[in-house]
Chain A
Amino acid sequence: MASHLGGLSGAPVVRVESLVRRFGPRTILDGLSLGIEKGEFVALLGRSGSGKSTLLRALADLDDKVSGSGRLETPDKKSVVFQDARLLPWKRVLENVVLGLGLPDAAERGRAALEEVGLSGRETAWPVELSGGEQQRVALARSLVRDPELLLADEPFGALDALTRLRMHDLLRQLCARHRPAVLLVTHDVDEAVMLADRVLVLDNGAIAADIAVNVTKPRNHGDRRFGEIRSELLRHLGVETRPALPV
């Protein structure tokens, strides 16, 4: 499946070849191959249990207890945004952002990152004092302050309400435009994938079943005809039959 390996311009940031991951008798990832370019925004869709999170955890080096094989190349500078913000409750916001950064100007960078996500002034708040959306913004700041070449996001907006989620989409888009990390966004939300990504992958039976470039001009909106077509195609790959797009 060389088509998923990217490779249009120079070496990709992420290169996965014949990746196999097993949990007991079940094979979750079955010879999966994937490439992500520098600065490319890839969304990964798939039904529950299709192995989205397994792939992301493999890329994040969080699966050392899982059996499997394959080749996996990822940059050293990568960071993960989880579905829960995963802030240490006993650290204030700024301390959470710069946790483990170990640079002399860590506090400076942390403040700048918080400003970018619109949370300046909340540096000394405890995580429990923030709303869900604000906590997730802190998690984004914690990732970005590390200047990642690869940003791995595991359904980062899944626990947020619909309005907050839309705002977070805007924020993530701006941040990615500015910092240009390669992104792998795992999501179950087709609209979110089409809205944000340059390329959408559908994972099925442990391999990539569809690889669709989102050639919709930015800024994107749901009413766009091409948007609707890609959305329908993705839904079909996910096994959801859609009615023809509503007449406009």
Chain B
Amino acid sequence: MNAISHTAAIARPIPDERELTAPAVQARKAGTRRRLALGRAIPFGALIGPALLLVIWSGGSVAGLIDPRTLPAPWSVVGTAIDLIATGKLQDHLMTSAWRAAQGLVFGILIGAVLALISGLSRLGEAIIDGPVQIKRAIPTLALIPLLMLWFGIGEGMKVTTIALAVLIPIYIQTHSSLRSIDNRYVELAQTLRIGYGEFIREVILPGALPGFFLGLRFAVTYAWLSLVVVEQVNATSGIGYMIDLARNYGQTDIVIVGLAIYALLGLASDGIVCFFQERSLSWRRTLAD
């Protein structure tokens, strides 16, 4: 490859000095050494895949390859969304759903993190807490819905509890494992520096467990939406899930699609928020992606 570009340059009638050397040097750089780390990030790379899907969807609709009863065209979905917003229905459902998810998340995160700390920092705490959490983990949260309905009825309490129960598991598991895998060398260091227990927790344990907590948080957000969908379709009179369920009864595919798009946007936005805080809090790390 090297030799080819070189001879090609020389074979030209009047080789310019700069042109002669530059491609040859570049070819050597690119050709002979393969970098193991990833290259530079593509700007807005995350949008390319979804944009491609949208193009295929639009193309299929225009060409008549997609039956509108199966999947309405993107523009008719947008039209339906505008109608729903104009009547105020979409906002009402969205607010209800977001409020449920937010409450479930907050309770789940708090409970999961506190349990992880107690269980991670004391043997007794681990003996008491870890077993029940593992048992809870083995039971799919959604399987608990019938029991939760009997306990809490079909109101908001049941919905928020279901979401919180789903959320606390990944928070607990990831935070606990990250906390327990903090390098013993740092514990020794803290001991030689004679720092107090409170400071040890604050300066060594919590920052050390933070990567696990954030990993758990990303799972938690996904689980929160997942549980939300289920509780809203099982028994609800408001919320995005209820809107979708109702539209299914009347065969309104476009409204179903609007609901799904809302779920997608909520999921992406919340994951983006978590990633933003994750990057800010963990800026001390150097990984393959940097």
Please give the residue numbers on chain A whose beta carbons come within 8 Å of chain B beta carbons, in ascending order: 60-62, 79-80, 82, 84, 86, 88-91, 99-100, 102, 126-128, 142, 146
Contacts and interface: CB of A to CB of B under 8 A. Distances in A.
B286 A128 contact: yes
Interface in B99-124: none
A89 B191 contact: no
Contacts of B207: 88, 90-91
Contacts of A60: 192
Contact of A100 (B185, B193, B284): B193
B190 A100 contact: yes
Given A60-B192, A91-B203, A100-B203, 13 more contacts: A80-B189, A80-B192, A82-B185, A82-B189, A86-B188, A88-B204, A88-B207, A89-B285, A90-B207, A99-B193, A99-B203, A100-B194, A100-B199
Contact of A88 (B188, B191, B203): B203
A99 B203 CA distance: 8
Interface in B203-218: 203-204, 207-208, 210
A124 B190 CA distance: 21
17 contacts: A61-B191, A61-B192, A79-B193, A82-B189, A86-B186, A86-B188, A88-B204, A90-B210, A91-B207, A99-B193, A99-B195, A100-B195, A100-B196, A126-B283, A127-B284, A128-B284, A128-B285
A110 to B, nearest CB: 13
When A and B form their complex, which 5 residue pairs have the shortest distance between CB atoms, in order from nearest? A100-B195, A90-B207, A100-B193, A80-B192, A126-B284
Interface string B167-211: 000000000000000000110111111111001000110011010
B113 to A, nearest CB: 18
A80 to B, nearest CB: 4
A126 B282 CA distance: 11
Q: How large is the interface on B (under 10, 10 to 19, 20 to 34, 35 or more residues)?
A: 20 to 34
Nearest to A100: B195
A79 B192 contact: yes
Nearest to B203: A99
Secondary structure type dominating chain B contacts: helix
Given A82-B185, A100-B199, A89 B284 contact: yes
B194 A86 contact: no
Contacts of B191: 61-62
B199 to A, nearest CB: 6
A61 B238 CA distance: 63
Contacts of A127: 284
Contacts of B203: 88, 91, 99-100
B284 A90 contact: yes
Interface string B222-255: 0000000000000000000000000000000000
Looking at A61, A82, A89, the one whose CB has the most chain B CB atoms below 10 A away is A89
A82 B188 CA distance: 10
Contacts of A86: 185-186, 188-189
Interface in B235-290: 282-286
A154 to B, nearest CB: 11
B245 to A, nearest CB: 46
A3 B207 CA distance: 48
Contacts of B186: 86, 88
A35 to B, nearest CB: 22
Nearest to B196: A100
Nearest to A139: B189
Looking at B185, B192, B193, B204, the one whose CB has the most chain A CB atoms below 10 A away is B192
A17 B15 CA distance: 83
B246 to A, nearest CB: 49
A60 B185 CA distance: 14
A108 to B, nearest CB: 18
Nearest to A80: B192
A77 to B, nearest CB: 10
Given A88-B203, A88-B204, A89-B284, A62 B192 contact: yes
Contacts of A99: 193, 195, 203
Looking at A91, A100, A102, the one whose CB has the most chain B CB atoms below 10 A away is A100
B183 to A, nearest CB: 9
Contacts of A146: 193
